[in-house]
Amino acid sequence: MTTPPSRPGSAVHDARAARHSYSAEVLERLSADAEQILAKYPEARSALLPLLHLVQSEDGYVSPAGIAFCADVLDLSRASVSAVATFYSQYKRHPNGEYTVGVCTNTLCAVMGGDAIFDRLSDHLGVGHDETTDDGKITLERLECNAACDYAPVMMINWEFFDNQTPGSAVETVEKLLAGEPVKPTRGADSVATFKEVSRVLAGFDDGRADEGEAAGPATLVGLELARKNDWRAPAGRTEQAAEHEAGTEPVGDTGSSAERKPQAPADTSPSGPTAGDDSDAKGSGKEGSA
Amino acid sequence: MTTLTPVLSDLWDAPRSWKLEAYQDAGGYQALRTALSMETADLVTMVKDSGLRGRGGAGFPTGLKWSFLPPPDGGPRYLVVNADESEPGTCKDVPLMMANPHVLLEGVIITSMAIGCHRAFIYIRGEVVHVYRRLLAAVEEARAAGFLGENILGSGYDLEVVVHAGAGAYICGEETALLDSLEGRRGQPRLKPPFPAVAGLYSRPTVVNNVETIASVPLIVANGADWFNHMGTERSKGHGLFSLSGHVAKPGQYEAPLGITFRELLDMAGGIRDGHRLKFWTPGGSSTPILTDEHLDLVLDYESVGAAGSMLGTRALQVFDETTSVVRCVSRWNDFYQHESCGKCTPCREGTYWMKEILHRLEAGKGTEGDIDLLLDVADNIDGRSFCALGDASAQPVKSGIAYFREEFEQGLHTPAWELFPYEANALYSGVAS
């Protein structure tokens, strides 16, 4: 990079931004939140990860004040809290942008275009991995696999999915962020919340947005659609069998029709019909395939 | 021919499928009523008889795992669901929880009851915030409906479920590292024994199971062990999500009986993208040795994939065509293991670092004489000598990559991988313009 971007991790930046203590009001609010978090766990220390998310929701990173707060709440040393905070990649050591734009550059996404997307964004924004634009809007990151490989290449903005990206679509999206316009994930909430807002959700505070968005994207449904089209099903279970049995006990046919015919041959009483057929289709078919 | 068997995926195309109402309309929470009327020992036996094996990669028999808990001593026992899905290529639990969190929750309640647990945890990776929202909301819906909390459906049984967000660390998918993380520590693996069944969360008896494993429990209870074990092969029973990604025409989730072949799945996914052919693939994530076009007819069950020198793992089939450099892929996978190594043990911490140095040289065409043997030597010194499976896993892409494509690594002594396999030819953009 020819022009070095502002490095939020630099001493100059830290001196300007680092927060070392909270006001009484903030402390009171955080303490009330912490109490709710602690109530979920049989042992207090289990609350540390959510508490670190909570202090990120206050400061936009894990500040010295945040470390001290967690240490005080859990009666741990600040060193113990720092040791945990530095282990996990979602905890930021310096002020994060309003939006973390992460591009998966693990193997599959990288090959499918993730490397090219990251390079294009890096050029476009003038920042590298874990660096933030001067206006504090965007922190760019290389991500490890985010469990959406069937939508490769994948970009995450504040941990919401942007599937099937191209360098062009990624640039378009970050342009909107820079312009202060809302952006919509391909699978997720109706719009991307800020880094601080999302951190508060991860601390365990529901933001009431679970019902936004779709149940599933197209790749999630591709196998199910194929099964529906071909009428492929799992073997019928007890519940369905019971329903079929019940249906079969209804009187059917007129007097003297085949419905009144008494069983005469073994075939008349052996199981047959779609249920058994489905069953035999599904089971053992793998073994046949191998032969 | 094997056909697909939508069970866990069956509800995913229903309107607002993540809601309690949609799940109940499809028969959801009936299994819980059945389970409440059963003896807990019978529930464990039922899951044993079903043949269900852990869906998180290792394939350990689930009912057997539950039965390892010591007899109740009056103290707490825990169920911890591993929802830290992070293995490269693996993308089944996240869409499952997004589309149908209640099937997981019903499984959690039944399993908790079976093992005598009154506080269960779902540890979900922090990098999927909308899925976390859906789980939090599902817990609230279930509580309001009387499926969680005190005296569930008048049975006298109490259960609380805590959904806990991680914070970005692949190693936390390792069950003991997950427990350390859940206890508020750095996520580093623990020495075993004692196994979690004896001393797990807070040193108490604990069952740790994968999302898909637990989500499979309600349907086994509803339909019976025989229904489940009539699907699959002799020792690999039931249905499972197969996740196809990479250079296939239709990547996505395909739920099939274990024992379906790779060729059958590839055909369902429309084959390799137009004009290209298969080069290599992983059967179950990056930690499972790669396979090639020799293995198209491989039966995807635990035994057959094992016999072919790899592992069924998480059924994460990452597929690469002939435009792809094996050296680039192996190098990038190793970057991942190096980045995610927790640093606790020397072979993994140092070994992945040195493999990175060598692999970056080879990818850049600047390898030196002896690099490939050195790479294999380092991999051998990690494999089987590291503290947990992460280190062992890091050796697999390297060893299998060299076993099948040694000549490409040799070319790394003089020619960059991006010249041999121009990277722009790999990309597959489904969007409009690049």
Contact call for residues A188 and A213 (beta carbons, < 8 A): yes
What is the percent of chain A where pLDDT is above 70?
76
Band (A285; pLDDT cuts 50, 70, 90): very low
Measured between beta carbons, which residues in chain B are less than 8 angstroms from residue A160?
A: 129-130
Residue B291 has pLDDT above 80, yes or no: yes
| Phi then psi dihedrals of residue B65, to 5 deg | -60, -45
CA gap B283, B344 in Å, rounded: 28
In a domain, A275, yes or no: no
pLDDT at residue A273, as a whole number = 37
Residue A110 has pLDDT above 60, yes or no: yes
Residue with tokens 């394939």: B59
Interface test with B, best of A120, A142, A149, A209 (most B CBs within 10 A): A149
pLDDT at residue B320, as a whole number = 98
Residue of A nearest to B339 (CA): A144
Band (A271; pLDDT cuts 50, 70, 90): very low
pLDDT at residue B45, as a whole number = 98
What is the percent of chain B where pLDDT is above 90?
98
Same domain, A71 and A142: no
In a domain, A277, yes or no: no
The H-or-E segment that residue B427 falls in is none
Average pLDDT, integer, range B12-17: 98
Band (A237; pLDDT cuts 50, 70, 90): confident
Contact call for residues A115 and B424 (beta carbons, < 8 A): no
For the four alpha carbons of A48, A52, A53 and A55, in that order, the dihedral sign comes to: positive
Q: Which residues contact A202 (CB under 8 A, 6 or more apart)?
A: A50, A53, A90, A159, B126, B129, B132, B165, B167
Tell me the per-residue pLDDT of B295-354, one tens digit each, with 9 for 90 and over: 999 999 999 999 999 999 999 999 999 999 999 999 999 999 999 999 999 999 999 999
Same domain, A119 and A163: yes
- Angle A156-B81-B160 from CA coordinates, rounded to 5°: 110
Measured between beta carbons, which residues in chain A are less than 8 angstroms from residue B168?
A: 88-91
- Are B340 and A40 inside 8 Å of each other by CB? no
The H-or-E segment that residue A37 falls in is helix A24-38
CATH label of the domain that carries residue A107: 3.40.30.10
Last residue of a domain, which of A144, A159, A192?
Answer: A192
In a domain, A55, yes or no: yes
Same domain, A103 and A182: yes
In a domain, A70, yes or no: yes
Same domain, A103 and A172: yes
Structure tokens at B228: 């489940």
Measured between beta carbons, which residues in chain A are less than 8 angstroms from residue B185?
A: 45, 48, 84
The H-or-E segment that residue B129 falls in is helix B129-144
Last residue of a domain, which of A44, A59, A85?
Answer: A85
Same domain, A74 and A133: no
Tell me the per-residue pLDDT of B193-248, one tens digit each, with 9 for 90 and over: 999 999 999 999 999 999 999 999 999 999 999 999 999 999 999 999 999 999 99
pLDDT at residue B200, as a whole number = 98
Residue A269 has pLDDT above 60, yes or no: no
- Are B336 and A108 inside 8 Å of each other by CB? no
Band (A17; pLDDT cuts 50, 70, 90): low
Average pLDDT, integer, range B80-92: 98
CA gap B132, B130 in Å, rounded: 5
Same domain, A76 and A139: no
Measured between beta carbons, which residues in chain A are less than 8 angstroms from residue B431?
A: 164-166, 168-169
Interface test with A, best of B34, B130, B265, B304 (most A CBs within 10 A): B130
Q: Is the ipTM above a cut-off of 0.95?
A: yes
Measured between beta carbons, which residues in chain A are less than 8 angstroms from residue B12?
A: 215-216, 220-221, 224
Last residue of a domain, which of A173, A192, A211?
Answer: A192
Average pLDDT, integer, range A1-20: 52
Average pLDDT, integer, range B84-102: 98
Band (A234; pLDDT cuts 50, 70, 90): very high
Same domain, A117 and A188: yes
pLDDT at residue B339, as a whole number = 97
Full set of structural domains in chain B with CATH: 20-223 (3.40.50.11540), 239-321 (3.10.20.600), 326-420 (1.20.1440.230)
CA gap A226, A229 in Å, rounded: 5
In a domain, A253, yes or no: no
Minimum-distance CB partner of A87 among B186, B247, B320: B186
In a domain, A34, yes or no: yes
- Are B222 and A239 inside 8 Å of each other by CB? yes
As a whole number of Å, the CA-based R_g of chain B is 22
- Min Cα–Cα distance to chain A from B37, Å: 16
Band (A216; pLDDT cuts 50, 70, 90): very high
Residue of B nearest to A237 (CA): B223
Count CA atoms within 13 Å of residue B429 on its CB side.
Answer: 17
Q: Who wins on pLDDT, A257 or A83?
A: A83
Q: Which residues contact A291 (CB under 8 A, 6 or more apart)?
A: none
What is the percent of chain B where pLDDT is above 70?
99
Average pLDDT, integer, range B377-406: 97
Same domain, A35 and A110: no
CA gap A107, B335 in Å, rounded: 9
- Are A161 and B426 inside 8 Å of each other by CB? no
CA gap A212, B282 in Å, rounded: 34
Structure tokens at A177: 């962020």
Please give the mean pLDDT across all residues of chain B: 97
- Are B264 and A289 inside 8 Å of each other by CB? yes
Residue A7 has pLDDT above 50, yes or no: no
- Are B329 and A116 inside 8 Å of each other by CB? no
Same domain, A77 and A114: no
Same domain, A165 and A104: yes
Structure tokens at A120: 């294009």
Number of domains in chain A: 2
In a domain, A205, yes or no: no
Beta-bridged to residue A166, according to DSSP, are none
Average pLDDT, integer, range B390-396: 97
The H-or-E segment that residue A164 falls in is none
In a domain, A254, yes or no: no
CA gap A34, B184 in Å, rounded: 14
Of A40-44, A195-199, A262-266, the one with minimum mean pLDDT is A262-266
- Min Cα–Cα distance to chain A from B124, Å: 10
Residue A9 has pLDDT above 50, yes or no: no
Residue A265 has pLDDT above 90, yes or no: no
* Full domain range(s) for residue A129: 99-192
Residue A239 has pLDDT above 80, yes or no: no
Measured between beta carbons, which residues in chain A are less than 8 angstroms from residue B170?
A: 144
- Are B166 and A49 inside 8 Å of each other by CB? yes
- Are A209 and B133 inside 8 Å of each other by CB? yes
Please give the mean pLDDT across all residues of chain A: 85
Interface test with B, best of A36, A38, A45, A112 (most B CBs within 10 A): A112
For the four alpha carbons of B409, B415, B419 and B420, in that order, the dihedral sign comes to: negative
Residue B355 has pLDDT above 90, yes or no: yes
Same domain, A105 and A184: yes
CA gap B181, B183 in Å, rounded: 5
Tell me the per-residue pLDDT of B28-75, one tens digit each, with 9 for 90 and over: 999 999 999 999 999 999 999 999 999 999 999 999 999 999 999 999
pLDDT at residue B428, as a whole number = 77
Band (A247; pLDDT cuts 50, 70, 90): low
Same domain, A45 and A120: no
